[in-house]
Amino acid sequence: MVARATGVGAGAAARAAPEALLARHDAELRLLDTVRRCVAAKLKCDRDYALALAAVATQGQKGDRQEELQGSLVAQAWRSLMVELEGAGRLLRAGADALEARALERLHSLQAEKRRTRKQLQEEHGRLASRLAHLTEDVTRKKAEYQKYLELYRLMRSRFEEHFVKSGRSGRKLDETRDKLQKACRKLHLTHNEYVLLLSEAAEFEREYRAVLLPALLQRQQAAHEAFVTSWTEVLRDVAHNISFADEALAEVQRRADAAVAAIKPSEEYAAFSDKYKNASPVAAPSAFIFDDSLAEDSSGRLLPGRLAVDNLTVESLRNKMAELEAALKEAQPVAPATADGLEPPTANGRASDPAGGGGGGGSAAGSRHGSTASEAGRAEAAEARARERTLARQLELVRGALSEQSGEELPAGCDLAALDAAAAAAAALAAPPAPDAASVAGVSQGDATRPSTPAPGLPPQGDVSSFTLKRQQQRLANLLRRPFRRKSVPSTPVLGRAMGSRGGSVPADDDTAAAQVPAGGGGGGSGACGNGAGSNGGLAARALADEDWFHGVLPREEVVRLLTREGDFLVRQTTRNDECQTVLSVCWGGHKHFIVQTTAEGHFRFEGPAFPTIPELIAHQLQSALPVTGRSGAVLRRPILRERWELNNDDVLLLDKIGRGNFGDVYKARLKSSGQEVAVKTCRVTLPEEHRRKFLQEGRILKQYDHPNVVRLIGICVQKQPIMIVMELVAGGSLLTFLRNRAATLTQRQLLGMCRDAAAGMRYLESRNCIHRDLAARNCLVGYENIVKISDFGMSREEEEYIVSDGMKQIPIKWTAPEALNFGKYTSLCDVWSYGVLAWEIFARGGTPYSGMSNSKAREKIDAGYRMPAPEGCPDEMYRLMLRCWEYEPENRPHFEQIYLVVDTLFGAQR
C-alpha cells in the first residue's frame, strides 16, 4: 500500500510539473513585458535628460562674452564644464540609442521565443497526456467489457446447471444452454486476454511517461530555458551598464571637468587684467569732468567757467560749505594714516607678503584665503580713505581761495534788477520793426533820447552796437528771458476707419503737435470699462472701440500671439489686471510686445506721444505717422489684424435656458439675434485664471477649421467682453450617453451600428487632419436628428501627429485611455482607436459603464494583465472582434479609423 501510494504521489507530481512550468512561462512573459516597458521608459528619461543637459549647456554658453572675459581662467573653466556637460548629454543619448537597438529588440525576440517555447511545451505535453488519457479510457472501457462478459458467463453457467439437474445429461434445451455457455466462456476468455494486454501496455507507457518521456520533455525545456535566461541576462547586463554612471566614457568626462576646474589659479585670474589697468598713468588722458564754457555765456560776465561765484547771494552758503568740509576733513585725517600704516605694503606681484613669515602648513587653505582677502580689503579701504581725504582737501582749498579773494572788499550783487529791466526794454526794441536811426537799434526810443547812455550790464556801449550782429543780440536776450514752460498744443484727432484707412482719413499732425507731450495723469487705466472703448469725451466723430475690426475684445494673449505673425501686425484687446480693466495694444515687432494705453488727467489716451480723445484716433495717429509706439521698443504699426468671421459680438447672442454645466462654466441654449438661429453656448467663468481661459478657447480654435457632418460645427467665439463664449450648433438629442440610457429598450441593432458608423466617420475625418481627440467617449458625443452622432468636446484635443503629456495625468479618463498613454503619456490617433473600442462597447451596452465594479487602478492593472471586457448582450460577433482589435496592447496592431469605418459601414449595410 505504501508503494502504491508513493507511485500515485509521484504520478501526480509528474503530471503537475508541466502545469507548473506553463505557469512559470506565463509569469516570465509578464515579467518580460514589464521589463520591456520599464526599459522603454528609462530610455525616454535618458533622452529627455540628454535634451535638458544640452539646453543647460547652451544656456551656459550664452553667458560667455569673449571680449570682456578674454584670458579669464574661470570663464575658460566654465566653458569647459559646459562642453563636458553637453558631451555627457550626448553620451547619455548615444547610450539610450544603443540600448534601444540592443535591449528592446532582444526583448521583443525573447518574448517571441518564450511564446514559441511555451507553445511547444504545451503541444508536446498535450500529445503525451492525450495518449495517456486514451490508454486510461481504453483500460476503463475494457474493464467494463470484462465485467459484462463475466456476468454473462455466470448467467449461462447457472442456467446450464439448472437444466442439467432437471433433464439429466441429454435433451434439446440442455444442448442449447451448453452452446450459450461455451460462447460466453469464449468471450470472457478473449476479453480477459485483451484486458491483460491493455493493462500491460498502459502500465508500460505510464512508466515510460514518468521515467523517460516527461523527464526528457522537461530536460529539453530546461536547456531551452537556460539559453533563454542567458540571453535575458545579457539584456539585463546591458540595462545595468546603461544605468551605471561609472562608465569609462562618463568617468573621462568627469576627469576632464575636474581638470578644467583645477586649472583655475586665483593668483593669475586677474593678474593680466590688473596689470593692464592698475598701472595706467592717472595723467595719461585728460579728465572728462570739465566746465562747459557755453553755460556761462548768458550770465553777463557775472559767472566765470570753473570758478566759484562769491556775491551777496552765495557767500553765506560758501561759508557753511567751508565749515562742513573742515569738519569732514578733520574726521577723515586720523583714519587714513592709521589704516595705511597698519598694513604691510604689497609685493612686486601685487600681493601682500605672508604675515606669518612664510613656511608651509601653518593654517588651512580656507584660513589663508580669508586672511589674504581681509588684507586686500584693508588696503582697499585705506586707499579709499586717502582718496576721500584728498578730495575734501581740494574742495576746501577751492572754497577758501574764493572767499579769501573777497576778504575786505564789498560783495558784488548777484542779481541786478535794473540791468534786467534794461535788457527787457532792449529785447522789446529788437522785436519791434527797425527804426531808421541807430538809437532804436540799440533799444532806446526817440522819446528817451535825453536819458543817460549808460549801457546795461552785458550789453555793449551805445557807440559799439555795430560790433554786434542783430542775430547775436536776439539770441542772447531770448535765452535770458526764456520761460520755463512751452505752450501746450492741441493735437489733431484723425478718425481711423473700420479697415484702417479704407474709409475716412486724418489730417497729419503739424510739427508743434507731434512734439507736444501731454503729461499722463494717474496710471494706465485703459478705456474706463471693459468693452466700452471710447474715451470720456470721444463720442462725437470717433467710432466706438468695440466697432473697430482691429479690436478683439478680451481675447487672451496666447490667441493674440497666434494672430500676429509679421513685423508690424497689430491689434487692440482688453485685459484685467488687479481687478482693473486695461486696454492693450499688441504688436509683432522683434517678438510680441504689449503696450497698455495710458489715460491722461483730461481723460484722453496716449502712449509716449500726443494724447487723443478716443483710442481709435490714437491708433490712427500711430498708424499714419509711422512713429514708434515707444522710443525704447521701436515698434511701428503697419497692418491691423481684423477680427475673423467667427469672432462674434457678445451682444449678438441671447442666452435662453441653461442646459448643462462644463469644466469651465455653464452651457446654455441661446439664439442669434441676427438670424434667429438656435445655438448652444459654452460660457467661461469670469473668475477663472488666464491659463484656464486659454484652454477654454482651445476647443474653439480647433473646431473653427473643421467641417464634417459627424463633428459638431462651430458658429463663432464671443470675446468682445466677459464672459467669453463658444457658440456651436445646437444638437437636439443632447449627450449620446444620456440618449442611450433613456432609449435602451427601443434602440435596434441597426441603429446602434449606425451610431458606431457615424462616430467612425467623424474620427476618420479628424485623423486625416492630424487631430488627436484624447477624450472620445459616449458622454462627449451628441445625438442629432435621425440619431446622427457628432463628435464633440475638444477641450483635451491636440492638432499633432504625436503628443507627449508633460503636465501630469490628473484629468485623464483612465477607463477610456490606451495603455501607452497611461504608462508613457504618449498620444497618437491610435490612442483614439482604443477609446473608440470603449465607445462602441458603450453604444452596444446601451449606456453601460465600462469595467463596471472596478476602480480605475484595478481596471488599469487588469488591462495590463491581458483582460478585455466581454461582448455586450446582443452585440454582433464581427463588431466585438473589431472592439478587440481596437484594444490590442501594441498600438501598431490596431486598425486605423479608415479601416474601422469600412468594417462598420459593411456591417451596417448588411443589416438592411
Q: Which three cell numbers, joined as nine digits, stand for 778?
A: 459616449
Q: Please give the Cα distance from 157 to 151 (Å, whole number).
A: 10
Q: Are strands 666-672 and 653-661 parallel, antiparallel or unpaired?
A: antiparallel
CA distance to 277, 606, 622, 720, per residue, from 537 (Å): 62, 14, 20, 22
Strands (E) located in 601-724? 605-606, 639-640, 647-648, 653-661, 666-672, 678-683, 714-718
239-261 burial, b if ≥16 CB within 10 A, otherwise e?
beebeeeeeeebeebeeebeebe
In single-letter form, the type of residue at position 585 comes to L
Cis peptide before 723 (omega within 30 of 0): yes
**Residue 804 β-bridge partners:** 826
C-alpha cell at 316: 553765506
In this structure, the number of other CB atoms found within 10 A of the CB of residue 201 comes to 13
Give the span between the Cα atoms of 536 and 532, in whole angstroms: 10
Quote the cell numbers at residue 756: 458606431
CB 832 within 8 A of CB 760: no
Alpha helices in 598-726 (DSSP H): 615-625, 690-703
In whole angstroms, what is the distance from residue 809 CA to residue 22 CA? 37
- For residue 650, what is the DSSP state? G
Give dist(CA 767, CA 828) in Å, integer.
9
CA angle 310, 316, 322 (to 5 degrees): 85
Cα 389 to the center of its chain, rounded Å: 58
Residue 663 annotated as part of some ligand binding site: yes
Q: Annotation-wise, does 862 bind a ligand?
A: no
Q: Is 750 annotated as a binding residue?
A: no
| The one catalytic residue among 775, 793, 807, 877 | 775
Rg of the chain, C-alpha, whole Å: 51
Can you tell me the distance from the alpha carbon of 613 to that of 599, in angstroms, rounded to the nearest whole number?
Answer: 10
Provide the 10 A C-beta neighbour count for residue 162.
13
Q: Could you give the CA distance from residue 764 to residue 758 in angstroms, rounded to a whole number?
A: 10
User: Is the Cβ–Cβ distance between 788 and 739 less than 8 Å?
Assistant: no
Q: How far apart are CA 825 and CA 366, in angstroms?
A: 50
Residue type, 618: L
The burial of 805, by beta-carbon neighbours within 10 Å (0-12 exposed, 13-18 middle, 19 or more buried), is given as middle
Beta partners for residue 781, in sequence order: 791
Half-sphere exposure (Cβ direction) of 276: Cα atoms closer than 13 Å: 7
Query: Could you tell me if 414 and 312 are in contact, meaning their C-beta atoms sit under 8 angstroms apart?
Result: yes
Q: What is residue 583's DSSP assignment?
A: E
**What is the side-by-side strand order in the sheet with 580-588?**
592-596, 580-588, 569-577, 639-640
Burial of 834 (0-12, 13-18, 19+ CB in 10 A): buried
Torsion of Cα atoms, 436 then 440 then 446 then 448, to 10°: -170
143 labeled binding residue: no
Query: C-alpha cell of 446?
Result: 526817440
Other Cβ atoms within 10 Å of 734 Cβ, number: 16
298 noted as active-site residue: no
Is 665 marked as a binding-site residue? Answer: yes
Q: Which residues contact 720 (CB under 8 A, 6 or more apart)?
A: 531, 546, 551, 553, 554, 647, 648, 649, 650, 651
Q: Is 341 annotated as a binding residue?
A: no
Binding region: 659-667, 682
List the binding residues for ATP: 659-667, 682
Q: Which residues are catalytic?
A: 775
